[in-house]
Chain A
Amino acid sequence: MLKLIDGIVELYKKAATSLPPDVESVIIDSANKEEANSSSSNSLKIIGENIRMSRREMTPICQDTGIPIFFVQVPKGVSQREIKDIIYDATRKATDVIPLRPNAVDPVSGINSGNNTGEGFPVIYFDESENDTLRIDLILKGGGSENIGMTYKLPDKRLNAQRNLDGVRKCVIDAVFNAQGRACPPYIVGVGIGATKDQVALLSKKQLLRKINDRNISDDLAALESSLTEETNRLGIGPMGFGGVTTVLGVKAASNHRHPATYLVDVSFSCWASRRGTLLW
């Protein structure tokens, strides 16, 4: 029987070398929306070719194989400690065999551990699953796209953004405008609204697990997502920041209840290489 460690190594391999079909197809579609023979359409075509090449040759799509972020749902009674140990072992093995780029650096000593593990690295979030299945979702989150994420506190005087969905809308437009072409657009944008900084940062990150074409269960947030996709694309930043109509592939938003005094909005970005995968065990 296949061991869980090997299942997680395979999950890493699939996430690092093949883009989810929903993301790939929206990238391919957007190449045709850009002006023919422009730098933007040409870049998207090279990106499409890169995606196919990586899948065929099982090589990483991007040399930055990212910060591995795990969302684990464990069945009742399963030890989180044991799962964590297996994830660490699988990470070391995946780094060696795929290979992944060693990205875990101790900020105090400056030393790269060389195997993608360290204190709090990979990032792992645990939850209890509703059934007997162990579910592991993995995002390989590029460093460049992590650096352009933003957290806002509403009201925000500079943006004239108040504590409502129009205020959230202004935050997202501001974050995309400030990102410009620095982190490999077209982007997928995750938005989290709620009471505390840590909560909204996690919530916006979790939105990056959603399929591009899914529909938000809240009608209000669904409307916000589709109008923000359209409005941010009007900015004209374009693929790679070369100008054009595709700056954002999709916006995904979620909210938690907030405190009467707080209204926090977090915006997370994924580069076009939105690498995610799911393992059911």
Chain B
Amino acid sequence: MVDPKKIKFPVSTEDIKGLSAGDNVLISGEIVTARDKAHEMLYNERPDRSELPFDLEGALIYHCGPIVETKDKEHRIVAFGPTTSIRLEAYEAWVIENYGVKGIMGKGGMGKDTLTALREYGAAYFHAIGGAASYLAEKVVRIADVYKLDEFGMPEAMWLIQVRDFPAIVTMDPSGKSLHDSIRSESEKIYNDLISNSGE
């Protein structure tokens, strides 16, 4: 494996355009967690950029519902792995288009609409290691802010998190290439063979 590329968020379109499906990256800077409720809120209420407490221009949205320990009103992230991204497929293209988001991170990849939006707006999808929650929590430098904690609850709130060298793999790139699509079509050939015979 070649050395991972280092990338810092918020990011410019130029930096994103150098990424290709299959690249290993180490992410530093700020990332924003958003899962089901946050996406529903953005899509249904369509808040103006100025109404949000953090700027999503050039941001990395992370599909993650962290475990946060709170002692004496101080928050600490103890588990920080990705959730399944495909549930956000109905919203993500719109979010990318309207808020200037340049990176989406989660697990399992996303669908056609998101892939098209990544290509049109010069953004990329990053695949984090699913289930590696303790390992990934070690990459957290600090919690910078949180939005809608009381209303949405711990997993669904939008947490603004500073990370250092958070490992991920680009699986959907700004040129429209998807590692998930190529794995699926390769596996489909074998699937068709397996289904059409009666075992060994």
- Check if B180 sits within 8 Å of A54, measured CB to CB: no
A residues less than 8 Å from B191 (CB atoms): 173-174, 177, 235
- Judged by DSSP, the binding face of B is mixed
B52 contacts chain A at the CB level, 8 A cutoff: no
Query: How far does the Cβ of B146 sit from chain A's closest Cβ, in whole Å?
Result: 15
B114 contacts chain A at the CB level, 8 A cutoff: no
- Check if B135 sits within 8 Å of A53, measured CB to CB: yes
- Check if A236 sits within 8 Å of B194, measured CB to CB: no
- Check if A60 sits within 8 Å of B138, measured CB to CB: no
A26 contacts chain B at the CB level, 8 A cutoff: no
B residues less than 8 Å from A103 (CB atoms): 155
Identify which of B65, B80, B86, B107 contacts A240 (C-beta below 8 A). Answer: B107
A144 contacts chain B at the CB level, 8 A cutoff: yes
- Check if B67 sits within 8 Å of A63, measured CB to CB: yes
A128 contacts chain B at the CB level, 8 A cutoff: no
Which of A53, A103, A169, A240 has its CB near the most chain B CB atoms (within 10 A)?
Answer: A240
Identify which of A46, A142, A236 contacts B135 (C-beta below 8 A). Answer: A46
B residues less than 8 Å from A231 (CB atoms): 194, 199
- Check if A173 sits within 8 Å of B195, measured CB to CB: yes
B20 contacts chain A at the CB level, 8 A cutoff: no
Q: Assuming A173-B194, A181-B108, A227-B200, is B153 touching A63 (CB within 8 A)?
A: no
B184 contacts chain A at the CB level, 8 A cutoff: yes
Residue tally, chain B, CB below 8 Å to A: 51
* Distance between Cα atoms of A189 and B107 in the complex (Å): 20
Stretch at the interface among A3-11, A35-43, A196-204, A206-214: A35-43
Number of A-B contacts (CB under 8 A): 166
Identify which of A37, A60, A144 contacts B83 (C-beta below 8 A). Answer: A144
B174 contacts chain A at the CB level, 8 A cutoff: no
A159 contacts chain B at the CB level, 8 A cutoff: yes
B132 contacts chain A at the CB level, 8 A cutoff: yes
Query: How far does the Cβ of B197 sit from chain A's closest Cβ, in whole Å?
Result: 9
| Complex interface residues of chain B between 1 and 19 (CB less than 8 A to chain A) | 1
* Distance between Cα atoms of A182 and B109 in the complex (Å): 7
* Distance between Cα atoms of A240 and B78 in the complex (Å): 22
B residues less than 8 Å from A50 (CB atoms): 129, 131-136
| Complex interface residues of chain B between 112 and 155 (CB less than 8 A to chain A) | 127, 129-138, 153-155
- Check if B129 sits within 8 Å of A240, measured CB to CB: yes
* Distance between Cα atoms of A54 and B179 in the complex (Å): 30
14 contacting pairs across A/B (C-beta < 8 A): A39-B22, A47-B132, A50-B132, A57-B134, A59-B78, A60-B134, A63-B67, A63-B81, A101-B67, A173-B195, A181-B108, A181-B183, A271-B131, A273-B131
Chain B residues in the interface with A (C-beta under 8 A) = 1, 22, 24, 64-67, 69, 78-81, 83-84, 86, 107-109, 127, 129-138, 153-156, 167, 169, 171, 179-180, 183-184, 186-188, 190-191, 194-196, 198-200
Closest 5 pairs between A and B when the two form their complex, measured CB to CB: A63-B79, A182-B108, A184-B130, A50-B135, A37-B1
Chain A residues in the interface with B (C-beta under 8 A) = 37-39, 42-43, 46-47, 49-50, 53-54, 57, 59-65, 99-103, 112, 114, 142-144, 147, 159-160, 166, 169-170, 173-174, 177, 180-184, 227, 231, 234-238, 240-243, 271-273
